[in-house]
Chains A and B, each alone.
Chain A
Amino acid sequence: MSSWSVTNLWLIPAVPLVASFFILILANSRRRTAAALAILGQIAALALSITAFLPTLAAPGFRSVHNFTWFTFGDQALRLGWVLDPLAAAMMIMITLVGLCIFVFSVGYMAGDKNLTRFFAYLSFFSGAMLGVVIANSLLLLFFSWELVGLASYLLIGFWIDRPSAAAAAKKAFITTRIGDLGFFLGMLWLYHSSGTLLFYDQGRGCLENAGLLAIGASATFIALLIFCGAIGKSGQFPLHVWLPDAMEGPTPVSALIHAATMVAAGVFLVARVYPLFSLGAVNGVTPSLTVVVWVGVVTALMASLIALAQVDIKRILAYSTVSQLGLMMVSLGVGGVAAGIMHLIAHGFFKALLFLGAGSVIHGLHHEQDIRKMGGLRWTMPVTFLTYAIGMMNLSGVPFFFSGGWTKEEVLHATAHWPVSALPHYLMLAGVILTALYMTRQIIYVFFGSARSTDFESVRPREFHSGEAATTTENISVGRTGQRPVFRAHESPRVMTMPLVILALCSILFALVLTPAWPWLRAYLNGESTHVVFGSLIQPVILLSFVLVAAGIGFGWLTYRNAGETDPLARTQPGLFRFLENKMWFDEIYERTIIAFSRILSRLTDWLDRYFWDGLVRLFAGLGQAFGVLSKGFDDHGINAGVDETTSGTRGFGRLISAAHSGQIQTYLGAIAIGMLLLLVLYAWLG
């Protein structure tokens, strides 16, 4: 059983990829077939993931690999492979499960889109590529899939291709992540060079196993940091986080996929996968590369949660919350809590998909309004969305006991508490907990509480469900009470959209069962340890602390934003700070004016140099050649040619002379021959 699962592990990414291919060649009108194929592909991948997951339960620390030769060059083989271990298995299940919910949700959300088939093709491709990242047992195969993930995100962010902003965001995502990928690529080359293999596990000879690590030695720090560049790009860490909020230009299910199951998870996963490179030569669990990881994570987490406080777009707030949570995961990995980081990644996958899909439901219900200041009172009109969203919010804020997000955040905080280098990350992350609770409370109050703030919406109970691209259908628009402006009627989303919300909400709660200190099954599973139930350890002082912090955040948020109008309370009290945060700390503007402007100037300069300097040199040589030609011509005309003219007339004269010599008299000829012979003899005697 286990061997079958391992040798055929490739099927898991292959099934969605194949589905994607078939959807792509479908006619644009076969919408139902496309959706069915994509969902079936995802279900198959989920089923396969579960069959692969079961054998990993057999013994703690299960690991099985299957390696094969991709191609041979020269005298050597380039080998790839896949690996089945707890890390891969847990990720696979999360990706396929969350992915499935998102796929189903998309059926409702994208129902009105005319390019639905293309959308599902890209979604399947995205999921397949991400699964490829997870099962790779070779850094090259991981990079291969990693780049395909990048391509998929490019295609999906720019899915509404007629919108210039979407195209710009897609381009930005691709290029920004590729900057990080350059580092990743170099790190991979270096690793290949120093260890002689890119396989992670290969019967003791892999680059993450003892022999390989021994060969790498001191360069491990540089290799790890270069590889981390790739993770910085993909996981939206400072300073390459700028693409992630812009990626909101894609349809909301895409945002959910990017922020929960795929793409950004890849960076965190990468660090976890090649963790032995980071921790090589660790003293007390600290290495230079891990320290960098911690501080990058700390900066990212705090920066993003501050920016989230001042955003007004419902999706952008969530985007920044993702950035900050990813920072938290990086901190966790950096301080040595690998299992904690991955647990948080998986829990985050569930609740962030839930939040994004919830936001999608809100946006759908409000006919593509995304500004939270214009929302309000939706708890009555969209009850299912509200309840599930609230569960997601509790998870994200880290409310203890009932929510998986609370437990995993607990694990992370626990890990940071014992970092020998500095206590600062721990306290900063505790501050991050308050901030997270605060901005989520702000968001949920704006969206669901109070009454409708904008007269564009009427918060009434829906009489009917509408499906389709609501903004384009006129039946949803009724003339409002003012009689002047059309008023949209907010409505709950159809069941195909609310069901995934409910499932994800349940997942995010039930998942907590395997996370508690009483039965820390997942941590033990990831760490390859055995576990047993201890109810006594359920209550710990740290939990009380975080309970207080979360309560403080939510309470403070409630007091601040309860009666907030269209102007933000923060904007009223601290206008300068608010502007700073609202403009995302001006990262985009700074990059635009420095790096991008510099590259543009460089590009124009090279073009100019090419046209005028290098080509100028060529033209100079050509000119010199021409000048020489003109000179030669002059010399020809006046020197040689004149001489030739002289010569010709001379020749004619000579000819006349010669013809006179051709007298026809034999004795003259004989005399001439004799003289000639004599001359030749003299010449011969002289030279010879």
Chain B
Amino acid sequence: MAWLITTLIVVPILGALLASATRNYARGVALASNIITAIGAFLLWQSFDSTLPGLQLVERHGWIPAIGAEYLVGIDGLSLLLVILTSLVFPFALLAQSRPAGDRGFCALMLIMQAALYGTFTAQNFILWFLFYEMSLIPAFLLIKIWGGEKRDRAATKFFLYTFLGSVAMLLSFLGIYFAKGTFDFAGLANLAKNGDLLTGNVKWFAFAGIFLGLAVKVPLFPFHTWLPDAYETAPTGVSMVLTGTLSKMGVYGFVRLLLPLFPNEITTMAPWLLTLAVCSIVIAPLAAWAQSDLKRMVAYLSINHLGYCMLGLFAVTATAARPLVEMQAALSGVFMQIFNHGITAAALFYFVGLLEQRRGLRGIGDFGGLMQRTPLLCGWMSVAMFSSLGLPGLNGFVGEFLIFKGSFAMTASFTAAAVLGLLFTAVVFMRAMQSLFSGPLVETSIAFPDLRSNEKWVVIPVTLLMFAIGIVPQFLLNIFNSTVVQMTRLFA
């Protein structure tokens, strides 16, 4: 079944070609393509042996041997997790997005982005990985620029240039590594790093800084985040969902796949600074979210906060020289869970904000009031997503955050203690939002709101059930990446 990964990458591209060729069936083609990729992802999950560490279903072809470029794709637990996440978020986003003008182009670009994401999460050679990584950027840029809301030109340009600058820094670092070591292979590089002869002296630090910058922008980590609120705010609902649900995971994935294995000791040296940035993301982002009046911008800031938990867990793994296996496993498992949970929950939150915007035409926090009286179902389901996001036990967010905190507390207690404040501020933000949206007297402009329509229910119910499932019986998700976690932590111990 080694061809399965390639199929996943190719199908959306074919879908994109087909979608742009048809006049009226673009949406249908996009959904059909997503059904196929969903089946593909499911088959991938079935043929993946979760008890084995290491790469599986590897497909390898020579490409440009002169520069060490290969077509090398394969999955481990983390890759599989992200492939599944991508396969879930994209159909969800397509269903959420009402048809814009020029739907053909919209669908085609979404599908290309999807293909790029599949590629990014499965490629095991830097050149190939980087190609996919950049390939996702262009559709995202166009989607914001063409279908975005107010100030879309500015936001799109900012998004593109900012991320692109980071990518250039990362590319330079990798070229440096390549010229020193002559390989682009992830596994090979990780082995070199483990034996301590990846790079030496200042070059090592330049390489580290370049890769760090590229990924920190992508995640984003404070203070490289200022592109995000603008981009998420202006992007159309479906695109915001994809941006936060999957694109931001490329950054976290990069940290796990590249920075952590290649520079574990550099992270240890820089740990106080890196952890400070992570804690800033966790604490400052929800504070800023509290000050927002635009719901989408508010959710965008909370996205930074949630990815901050991932960063905290990741940096904590190698923060100290003493690395107890137990705690590293907890932190890393938590990070992986959080990656998945945030993808689902943040996408759902953007979806609900989109529903409100559809009904009202505005999305200011003060533009609504007393909705519970008019649309109890919408409010109820939206509250579930909000409570999931603020980490209520029983819903998906809690498990991941608990594991991250458990792991990082053992290794960096003081930073973890500071980060806990993020849990409080997130609650404040959501409480304020719920109060002003759902409670109080029904405002006049909301009187004619329809409650959840049946097609909307079909989107909401599966996602919410997934949140409950992960929150109550998380084992099925943990199984996907457990051996990978064990293998990675052994690498650092």
Contact = CB atoms under 8 A, between A and B. Distances in A.
Tell me the dominant secondary structure on chain A's binding face. helix
A256 B435 CA distance: 24
Interface in A51-71: 70-71
Interface residues of A, number: 48
Interface in B152-208: 158, 161-162
A182 B161 contact: no
Interface string B206-227: 0000000000000000010111
A203 interface: no
B329 A151 contact: no
Contacts, number: 144
A475 interface: no
Contacts of B417: 186
A182 B423 contact: yes
Contacts of A75: 325-326, 329, 486
A73 B330 contact: yes
A144 interface: yes
A439 interface: no
A603 B332 CA distance: 31
Contact of B475 (A72, A164, A174): A72
A167 B478 contact: no
B421 A144 contact: no
Interface in A163-210: 163-164, 166-168, 170-171, 174-175, 178-179, 182, 185-186, 189-190, 192-193
A71 B439 contact: no
Contact of A74 (B158, B330, B421): B330
A615 B440 contact: no
B132 interface: no
Given A175-B431, A186-B417, A73 B410 contact: no
Given A144-B394, A174-B427, A622-B161, A185 B405 contact: yes
Interface in B78-110: none
B486 to A, nearest CB: 6
A167 B435 contact: yes
A646 interface: no
Interface string A596-623: 0001101110110010001101100010
A158 B423 contact: no
Contacts of B387: 151
Given A164-B439, A189-B416, A606 B287 contact: yes
B341 to A, nearest CB: 14
Contacts of A147: 392-394, 398
Contacts of B402: 140
Given A74-B486, A162-B441, A185-B405, A171 B435 contact: yes
B141 interface: no
B104 to A, nearest CB: 33
Given A158-B439, A167-B435, A622-B161, A178 B288 contact: no
B311 to A, nearest CB: 17
Nearest to A147: B393
Contacts of B325: 74-75
Contacts of A614: 223, 225-226
Interface string A290-319: 000000000000000000000000000000
Contact of A73 (B226, B291, B403): B403
A578 interface: no
B438 interface: yes
Interface string A343-356: 00000000000000
A617 B226 CA distance: 10
A145 B424 CA distance: 18
Interface residues of B, number: 63
A161 interface: yes
B423 A185 contact: yes
Contacts of A71: 399, 473-475, 478
Query: Which of A70, A192, A610 has the most chain B CB atoms closer than 10 A to its own CB?
Result: A610
Contacts of B326: 74-76
B424 A182 contact: yes
Contacts of B435: 167-168, 170-171
B415 interface: no
A523 to B, nearest CB: 34
B57 interface: no
A162 B424 contact: no
Given A74-B489, A182-B423, A606-B291, A162 B373 contact: yes
B2 interface: no
Contact of B392 (A151, A170, A192, A193): A151
Interface string B309-340: 00000000000000001111110110000000
Contacts of B403: 73
Interface string B374-412: 000000000000010000111000110011011001100
B355 to A, nearest CB: 19
A133 to B, nearest CB: 12
A73 B482 contact: yes
B485 interface: yes
Query: Which of A73, A166, A167, A602 has the most chain B CB atoms closer than 10 A to its own CB?
Result: A73
B482 A606 contact: no
Interface string A333-376: 00000000000000000000000000000000000000000000
A222 to B, nearest CB: 11
A622 B399 CA distance: 41
Query: Which of A71, A148, A151, A171 has the most chain B CB atoms closer than 10 A to its own CB?
Result: A71
A73 B485 contact: yes
Given A73-B403, A161-B439, A193-B410, A604 B291 contact: yes
A599 to B, nearest CB: 8
Given A148-B393, A164-B440, A189-B409, A76 B373 contact: no
B440 A167 contact: yes
Interface string A424-467: 00000000000000000000000000000000000000000000
A82 interface: no
B132 to A, nearest CB: 26
Contacts of A158: 439
A419 interface: no
A143 B227 CA distance: 37
A602 B287 contact: yes
Interface in B360-376: 370, 372-373
A167 B433 CA distance: 11
B8 to A, nearest CB: 27
A607 B291 contact: yes
Interface of A: 70-76, 140, 143-145, 147-148, 151, 158, 161-164, 166-168, 170-171, 174-175, 178-179, 182, 185-186, 189-190, 192-193, 599-600, 602-604, 606-607, 610, 614-615, 617-618, 622
Interface of B: 158, 161-162, 223, 225-227, 229, 284, 287-288, 290-292, 325-330, 332-333, 370, 372-373, 387, 392-394, 398-399, 402-403, 405-406, 409-410, 413, 416-417, 420-421, 423-424, 427-428, 431-432, 434-435, 438-442, 473-475, 478, 482, 485-486, 489
13 contacts: A74-B326, A74-B489, A75-B329, A144-B398, A147-B398, A151-B387, A167-B440, A185-B423, A186-B417, A192-B409, A193-B410, A599-B290, A606-B291
Given A161-B373, A182-B423, A610-B226, 10 more contacts: A74-B333, A75-B486, A144-B398, A158-B439, A164-B441, A175-B428, A189-B405, A600-B290, A602-B287, A614-B223
6 closest Cβ contacts across the A-B interface?
A74-B329, A167-B439, A607-B291, A73-B333, A144-B393, A189-B409
